[in-house]
């Protein structure tokens, strides 16, 4: 980034660690916006190194909240994941903690003008360590493994994920969790799209892995609104005003609604995935 954008006098490039409160405070000084994307995100690595995940994903998120409030950074958008919903692994649990810290950080920011919100989405196509590069690497060695033939996942492109962050930056009032309306895929369809000539080997679900993911639970839907391209989970805290713009900008989510990858109404098939993956 420094070699590509370093000539822009508005930018500074820091080597540091989100675990370092002091370094984060130095980086936040003079900033208008923080996009909090730092995380340990590999499920097996988090299971094997639980406190390392906690230090980065939980304590690091608190450092973001503290730095933003202390330096009057007007907007914070933190990146979360569908694995934070009803978590069954440590990674999901730490991202749930992150969401809680970011949302409740608005209480401590009262009177400062600082707004803190989250975006929550599913698998990003081709992101480092995700299933697409893993499948492609396996194919080069003449094999392809899947954990369970029933498995489904939410799917979002990198551009769509960036657009969601920008939407949150523009529209956040503070305390929301923005959930995009995105398609689901079957892992078996993804395998066929990447390696149509290989028969996948079923190896069984890994520790901490779900068959299906959920982006919005029945309990959350009671305090969520449908805002067109996104669902917006509104906080249940006393500092949230009933006259907030989202009450009129969105419509209530139906009673009992859950947004899960296996009951989604929008799907990508093998042809869609081939076109998407190029």
pLDDT (tens digit, 9 = 90+) per residue, 135-169?
999 999 999 999 999 999 999 999 999 999 999 99
Q: What is the pTM of this model?
A: 0.94
**Is residue 248 predicted with pLDDT exceeding 90?**
no
- Which one-letter DSSP state was computed for residue 75? E
Total domain count for the chain? 1
pLDDT for the residue numbered 242: 66
Whole domain around residue 123: which residue ranges? Answer: 13-277
Buried b (16+ CB within 10 A) or exposed e, 65-81: bbbbbebebebbbbbbb
Q: Of all residues in the chain, what percent carry a pLDDT higher than 90?
A: 81
The H or E element containing residue 231 is strand 230-233
Residue 7 lies in a domain: no
* Sequence-separated contacts (24+) of 80-83 with Cβ below 8 Å: 80/118, 80/119, 80/120, 80/121, 80/177, 81/41, 81/120, 81/121, 81/122, 82/120, 82/121, 82/122, 82/154, 82/213, 82/214, 82/215, 82/261, 83/43, 83/210, 83/213
8 A C-beta contact, residue 180 and residue 214: no
pLDDT for the residue numbered 129: 66
**Is residue 243 predicted with pLDDT exceeding 80?**
no
CATH of residue 256: 3.40.50.720
d(CA 182, CA 18): 30
Per-residue pLDDT, averaged over 77-102, amounts to 97
Residue 3 lies in a domain: no
- Which one-letter DSSP state was computed for residue 238? T
Among 48-62, 117-131, 132-146, 237-251, the minimum mean pLDDT is found in 237-251
- What is the rounded (10 degree) CA torsion for 109, 110, 116, 118? 120
pLDDT (tens digit, 9 = 90+) per residue, 203-242?
998 888 899 999 999 999 999 999 999 999 999 887 777 6
Residue 103 lies in a domain: yes
Residue 114 lies in a domain: yes
The H or E element containing residue 179 is strand 177-180
> Is pLDDT larger for residue 57 or for residue 206?
57
Residue 268 lies in a domain: yes
pLDDT (tens digit, 9 = 90+) per residue, 2-24?
888 888 888 888 999 999 999 99
Catalytic residues: 83
d(CA 38, CA 120): 14
8 A C-beta contact, residue 182 and residue 154: yes
Going 126 to 163 to 118 to 82, the CA torsion angle's sign is negative
Structure tokens at 2: 């420094």
Residue 72 lies in a domain: yes
On the CB side of 55, CA atoms within 13 Å amount to 8
8 A C-beta contact, residue 71 and residue 237: no
Residue 5 lies in a domain: no
Of 175, 173, 264, nearest in space to 215 by CA: 264
pLDDT-based confidence at 133, cuts 50/70/90? confident
Residue 201 lies in a domain: yes
């Amino acid at each position: 980034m420094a070699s590509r954008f370093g000539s822009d006098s508005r930018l500074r490039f820091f080597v540091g660690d989100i675990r370092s409160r002091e370094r984060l405070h130095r980086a936040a000084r003079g900033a208008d916006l923080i996009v909090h994307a730092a995380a340990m995100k590999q499920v097996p690595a988090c299971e094997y190194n639980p406190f390392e995940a906690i230090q980065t994903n939980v304590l690091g998120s608190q450092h973001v909240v503290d730095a933003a409030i202390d330096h009057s950074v007007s907007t914070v958008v933190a990146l979360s994941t569908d694995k934070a919903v009803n978590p069954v692994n440590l990674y999901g649990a730490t991202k749930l903690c992150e969401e809680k810290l970011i949302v409740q950080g608005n209480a401590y920011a009262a009177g400062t003008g600082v707004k803190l919100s989250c975006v929550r989405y599913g698998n990003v196509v081709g992101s480092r360590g995700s299933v697409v590069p893993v499948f492609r690497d396996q194919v080069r060695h003449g094999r392809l493994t899947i954990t369970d033939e029933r498995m489904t996942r939410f799917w979002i492109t990198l551009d769509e994920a960036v657009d969601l962050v920008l939407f949150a930056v523009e529209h956040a009032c503070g305390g929301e969790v923005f959930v995009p309306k995105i398609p689901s895929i079957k892992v078996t369809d993804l395998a066929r799209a990447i390696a149509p000539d290989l028969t996948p080997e079923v190896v069984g679900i890994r520790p901490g892995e779900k068959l299906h993911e959920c982006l919005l639970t029945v309990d959350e839907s009671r305090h969520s609104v449908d805002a067109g391209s996104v669902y917006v989970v509104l906080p249940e805290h006393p500092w949230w005003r009933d006259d907030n713009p989202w009450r009129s900008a969105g419509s209530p989510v139906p009673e009992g609604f859950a947004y899960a990858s296996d009951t989604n109404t929008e799907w990508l098939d093998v042809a869609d995935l081939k076109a998407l993956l190029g």
